[in-house]
Amino acid sequence: MGFSSKLCTGCNESIISRYASNDINDWQIHATFLFESGEFYQGEYLGYWNIFDGDTGAEIRLPIKDYDQKVTCYHTDCYIQAGCPREYTTPSDWAPDQGYFFNLFEGHNTLSPLKRDKLHLEIERK
């Protein structure tokens, strides 16, 4: 399937490849995948539907079998922001930028929702 990715259900930006990230958007390589079959995966997106599991050090091939594969995708920070849903809900759309071909003027230049909340709380406290 070459370069490919899907859009995050939380923020609607693509899950990006580790090899396309920078200091601003490296939170968007950490992704969570909930398959309609009930399978659950979390890790660092390497592209080509492979993830790196930092806990085990293993590379895992996600079970994307064809173009119609139904999977709900999140950036893991967006997943936490959404309350860590345990089940597949709606299929994520394919990402036009394939998680790789983007520039910072077209998105992928925002803070993680978890950091935005933290900043917000810090501002409220002042």
Q: How far is the CB of 79 from Zn ion (least distance, A)?
A: 8
Q: How far apart are CA 68 and CA 15, in angstroms?
A: 18
116 token code pair: 């935005």
Q: In whole angstroms, how close is the CB of 27 to Zn ion at the nearest point?
A: 9
Nearer to Zn ion, 10 or 43 (CB): 10
> How crowded is the C-beta side of 25, counted as CA atoms within 13 Å?
26
Nearer to Zn ion, 11 or 80 (CB): 11
Q: Which is nearer to Zn ion, 8 or 95 (CB)?
A: 8
**Min dist. Cβ of residue 125 to Zn ion (A):** 26
Tokens 């920078």 belong to 22
DSSP 3-state of 42: strand
Return the number of the residue (27 or 49) whose C-beta is nearest Zn ion. Answer: 27
Q: Which residue is nearest to Zn ion (CB)?
A: 8
Nearest distance in Å: CB 105, Zn ion: 18
In contact, 98 and 106? CB cutoff 8 Å: no
Site residues, Zn ion (CB under 5 A): 8, 10-11, 75, 78
Which two three-digit tokens encode residue 102?
């983007």
